[in-house]
Structure 1
């Protein structure tokens, strides 16, 4: 220590400072002391005020107690006799380096005095330095930039208690103790303590409910010297925490729901490392757009188990609702559970589904998901168009349809079930552009996909058509004698079934109705032309039969009559073949195209007659046959033109005269001869 005497004025006031230069370490406490000497005849009681200052304002010293830079760090003290003055500055800073002077005033007018020069304070880095020796040990060293006297020495303290004298100390890494240095000879100045970080604390701002989109700041702080570095982590739960930041604060300018989770921070310096407790960040906002998952994700077959799961990210937790789209109205509500379960899914469950997620902050709806249930075809249904009565020549369409997934392929069959059906078509529709009577029958279709095959019920197609040209038969077919019984039978093809009516030429009223006309006790009066008419609502058709009785004719044996008839027919056939050969050799045959063209204008054939005579001195046996050009059946009433061919058998031998060419037999007309027994 040194003392300096300051002569203030001739008045005899003096200020004596115990040190003119003070070296202090940052953070330490400094004490400056001085004594006041008064002139003879004046007492200390004449001093009415005193203070310390380093600055002046408007030419006047500024009391340290009123300087904001020293607020709370400056203390004045005086001895009981007011002789000694004390200035104490705590937690000194480098900015505290200055010249400190004492200012006092007496009770005499304008008598103010300053102890000048004052005390110069130098604040330096007097501290404990830390150096790592290896992964386990550290070295603590007391250090100061102040020039120390030879008598000064360092004393190390541990947790505020004396530990050892010396400037260095080895300590283990991670120690939780506090170490500081004292400098003897310098008013026991002590360095700031060094120590590892304590467990960091975390604060959240704002501390109220966090809504998505708001600003949130997490602050990590720890008590340590030297200063620590900070690191922020977010817990993943499945792996090591994820590093987010190396700043004391973790700032979310617009926090999102994905930021919810557990966070922690670490504080670390040379002496150690500590981690805070986890803090949970719970961000609230409405649900995100829900996602829908399907299990199983493979092909869905009818009867299987299928589960739809709706999920979203929401805080607070969302409630769920399932809907099925109806297309014609609002979606149909199905369930209010996160999962929609089909224990045995059906084809009717196919469709589009969606779910909603809702909490008090909002509501979101998922995209639609399509559920395509695959199933074998249902029993096909068959429809007919037109559905009214089907007439021959109409256009008719049969349509086969079913419900199936995947779509079914169709096959049409015709059959009665008693034998293998006949395959008609492999299209959904079976089309008859001009339906015929032969198309009548029972039809069915099959529908098939990779899951199975189903058959429809039978459907009957009943084509309505008018009667075909009737055929007529006579019973008995042998030679009929007068007085016998004759059955005439008429038959035709028609739908619906035809009604039959028998007429005799030149008679206005019908002779009989029904398919069979019976003439009992046949006589010559019954000779003549008979014809039957077949009729239904679609049309009518007729055929002619001529019954003839030859008077005075001796009865030939049946074999002779048959021989004569056969010979006549054979002769007619030979004549026709001869005519055809002659025509083939004619010059006109070399131009078939021209003949075909002219043939279109040939008028209908006229009745032709051929006569052959065989004389046996008995009455002629007459045989008649209808000849007409071939033509297709007609629906409406048909009137038959009857052409005749007369064949007479004479005893003089075979002679024939040919009167026409190109005659055609019509099997629909039948003529019979009834022989009358000769009379005495």
Structure 2
């Protein structure tokens, strides 16, 4: 633990338990250290094994409010170029191991060595303990394709500061400015900010794709300072599962199967591997390796965290296999959906007993064509002898289920436990976002799942198409009447959402208030003009000639004052009441 002490206007860094004047404290993570002559102490990970000791000395000029930062290594570096970061922004200068800076409460610094930017020191405050800082729990994370992963992150700022803006960015090339994730449509609906405006900045990814592999950074602003994005973030690597086959020896006719990934999974605790043989789940083994006998008809696949690998043949390339075009499909209620797969078997054998099903019990399956719930709504068709497509028409929400294909070849049947295609049936809904102060309203055409096919949206206003809008979001300006809106999808124009009426009074509640206020203002002016003319016509005097008297009445502790002019106008107004 690092603490601070001050003596004779000179402040020294020291480690609790040591009082010999030498800097023996490092945060036990390696060999590069950021130290200061007066205030700062930190360290960074490195491959060096020996630690250095640093003698701390105060500044010579006690009137100048600056400190000297030193980036130290536990090993000797030849012609090293140092990199300095201030509040997350890389500084062009200096490139030496020492850097003098002005003391400022919001300033934080870190250092690294050129070509080893990922091995940077922890961020340290020049003054105090609540300067700007972002800390990532992992420099790198490896996760499975299709899975969900969190990028843990913590940040800090001055206690009284208010965070005005915070966003996650994806880093392209190192010299390029990163891109805000919220501006990229490919991340829509798949990323969620789990943090807050205090200290947590964790980001969650769902349905990971291999294209998500990149470096991600967090950036935030307060009313006084800003954390920038050139500071290293978290590198995410997305990998799929693969079964690697290792041949046995000449005398040992077995092969070793390994369920592998391209990187070591970050969350690798209590991993349970599942193996499939010809589409049928095996009770054993549960480890990542499995030894099998050599058979030409046999195929294997593995899964982990409900994510599966591709099927591989133990021998040759013609073993049994079923491969689905989509693991999941989202389709509109009332529409038609196609669920397809390809399959293979030994070249000299034919496929028989081809069946699609979504219900099975103890190995007994039910052909969809024979299921009364699907009577007249399902059909099987093929384009080659190695593919099959299931077509379901007039989709219902009860059709949401997992669909599988099964076939038999050479008296060997593809198993029923191998994962198939999961269908989700959704309807269209129009959601209304309340009006802003400017009077703008936002309508969103939403579904319970992302539609599988490329989607072009169609909006209807009072039953008529809105030709210039094809996104799922519709922005409305100020209107003076109630309007009904509904949405549909191109290619399924007959399937519309329920009509939502955007009510003028409900959306723009301030309009009646403004109208009433304007009417009252005009009425008061007219009454004032009338009373003034009436006084003049009756020989009374006006405000220019009639001196006004201020009458003050004190009640309790409050004094009320009113002029005689006001009283005369009030009398005039009241005298008008019988005639109104």
Note whether the superposition's TM-score is higher than 0.5. Answer: no
What TM-score, normalized to structure 2? 0.29
Radius of gyration: which is bigger?
1
What TM-score, normalized to structure 1? 0.25
